[in-house]
Amino acid sequence: MSQRRIRLGLIGGGFNSFIGVVHRVAAYMFEDYEIVGGAFDANYDECKRFAEHLELDVNRAYPDIDALIAAEKALPADQRIEAVSVLTPNFLHYPMAKKLIEAGFHVICEKPITITAAEAIELEQLVEKHKVVFALTHTYTGYPMARQMKQMIADGAIGKIQKVDAQYYQGWINPIIHDKAQRSTVWRLDPKKSGQSSCFGDIGVHAFNMIEYTTGIEVESVLADLDTMYDDNPLDVDGTALIRLKNGVKGLVRASQIATGEENNIQIAVYGDKGGLKWVQEDPTYLTYFQEGKPVQILKPGHPYNSEFAAESTKIAPGHPEGLFDAMGNIYKGAGLAIRKKPFKNGAFPTVRDGVRGMKFIEGVLESHKKGQVWVNIL
């Protein structure tokens, strides 16, 4: 067993998992992690079968998180799992992460971090107390040109920020929402598993995160109008939130799961008094740079005009597109540096603080809508 690689465990991520393969590829992208065990599936037989599939020691396929923690803590320090990725449906993030942090494991966790803001704040306090690394996988922050956008805004390339606009449009719930029988098969529409929100909890929070990530400025307040489509559907599937940043700048977060035909159309645009920057995930190698009075420029990864942050997030030559796997790889790389106590750049991976911010945003959006579209402070 390598001593250099971080010994990684997974909760969820088994055969029937959507996001699991993205995490597995990311973990191996820079030769900095090695998956050694996990509770890969709610079903123990499936969990063991998955461990065999990965050619792991099946003794390290665990029936649940408690068994994982107990068995791994009993191993010598140079063998035990060091970090655990939590890849389950939303309602399990908080209880799993809490147990892991308290047991001294570093945590890589899927978003939304928890179901409530109070839980996220508790995790933030636990991370501080137990001195572990907590990475939240807001995957889009790992793209080279999203990082370039963050750096250029910090360097003043667009001047003083005066408008922000983020959206995340999907359409996959359209056929499901109109068919009551199908609705009950989707955990994202079940409040017990998804939490208080479907659309804003699942994807609106990514768009929100891109605003705070690229501008480095917190959103102060929100005013939201949500749509559940049917009275007997308890969770939002569409909505718009007007936002005000701490510095008074206005903008919006638009999110939908019923934007028929859309796939994963997340985009972020930030405009300043000298120019603007716009990044669209489905064309991730293009960063559009507007400058007052000049022709529009398209910046691409792999060129010397990019920042060091974007350059070190790029692995291959210009013209070879990098995508979601690569972005997740960059986040794993950043978290790995922190776990190994090596230097890393601001923004190398989203943290538990981003999780708290995301949950405050989701709760603020829900409160605003419930109270009849009023402004809600989310600081």
C-alpha radius of gyration, the chain, whole number: 21
> Which of residues 17, 114, 198, 228 is near ligand NAD by CB under 6 A?
17
Q: Which range, of 13-21, 144-152, 155-163, 241-249, touches ligand NAD by CB under 6 A?
A: 13-21
Instruction: CB nearer to ligand NAD: give 204 or 272.
Output: 204
By CB under 6 A, is residue 39 in contact with ligand NAD? yes
Would you give the DSSP letter of residue 110?
Answer: P
Taking the complex as a whole, how short is the minimal distance between the CB of residue 36 and ligand NAD, in angstroms? 16
Spatial distance between the Cα atoms of 59 and 326, rounded to a whole number of angstroms:
31
Q: What is the closest distance, in whole angstroms, from the C-beta atom of residue 58 to ligand NAD in the complex?
A: 16
Q: Compute the least distance from the CB of residue 354 to ligand NAD, in Å.
A: 12
Torsion of CA 172, 173, 178, 183, to 10 degrees: 130
One of 5, 7, 8, 11 touching ligand NAD (CB under 6 A): 11
- The set of residues, in sequence order, having a beta carbon less than 8 Å from that of 350 and lying 6+ positions away, is 135, 136, 137, 138, 141, 209, 213, 331
Does residue number 132 form part of the binding site for ligand NAD (CB under 6 A)? no
The verdict on 95 binding ligand NAD (CB under 6 A) reads no
Contacts with 204 (C-beta within 8 Å, 6 or more apart), sequence order: 168, 197, 239, 241, 253, 255, 361, 362, 365
Check if the beta carbon of residue 271 is closer than 8 Å to that of residue 158: yes
Q: Which of 5, 7, 48, 111 binds ligand NAD (CB under 6 A)?
A: 111
* Helix, strand, coil percentages in the chain from 3-state DSSP, rounded to 5: 40, 20, 40
Residue nearest to ligand NAD (CB): 12
In degrees and rounded to multiples of 5, residue 176 shows phi and psi of -80, -40
Distance CA 198, CA 189 (A): 6
Q: What angle, 0 to 180 degrees and rounded to 10, lies between the N-to-C axes of helices 65-73 and 93-102?
A: 10
Question: Does the protein bind ligand NAD through residue 92 (CB under 6 A)?
Answer: yes
Q: Identify which range of 82-90, 228-236, 241-249, 254-262 contacts ligand NAD by CB under 6 A.
A: 82-90
Taking the complex as a whole, how short is the minimal distance between the CB of residue 16 and ligand NAD, in angstroms? Answer: 5
Alpha-carbon span 47 to 142, nearest angstrom = 29
Question: What is the per-residue DSSP string for 154-211?
Answer: HTTTT-SEEEEEEEEE--TTHHHHT-HHHHTT-GGG-HHHH-S-SHIIIIIHHHHHHH
Total number of residues that touch ligand NAD (CB under 6 A): 22
Q: Shortest distance, CB of residue 161 to ligand NAD, whole angstroms? A: 26
**Least distance CB 140 / ligand NAD (angstroms):** 7
244's tokens = 């005000």
Among 110, 262, 326, 363, binds ligand NAD (CB under 6 A): 110
Asked if 87 is part of the footprint of ligand NAD (rule: CB under 6 A), the reply reads: yes
109 binding ligand NAD? (CB under 6 A): no
CB of 288 to ligand NAD, least distance (A): 22
Annotate each residue in 274-303 with x if it binds ligand NAD (CB under 6 A) or - if it does not, as one string: ------------------------------
CB closer to ligand NAD out of 39 and 253: 39
Which residue, 306 or 326, has its beta carbon nearer to ligand NAD?
A: 326
Q: Is 19 in the site for ligand NAD (CB under 6 A)?
A: yes
What are the residues binding ligand NAD (CB under 6 A)?
A: 11-14, 16-19, 39, 41-42, 87-90, 92, 110-111, 137, 139, 187, 202
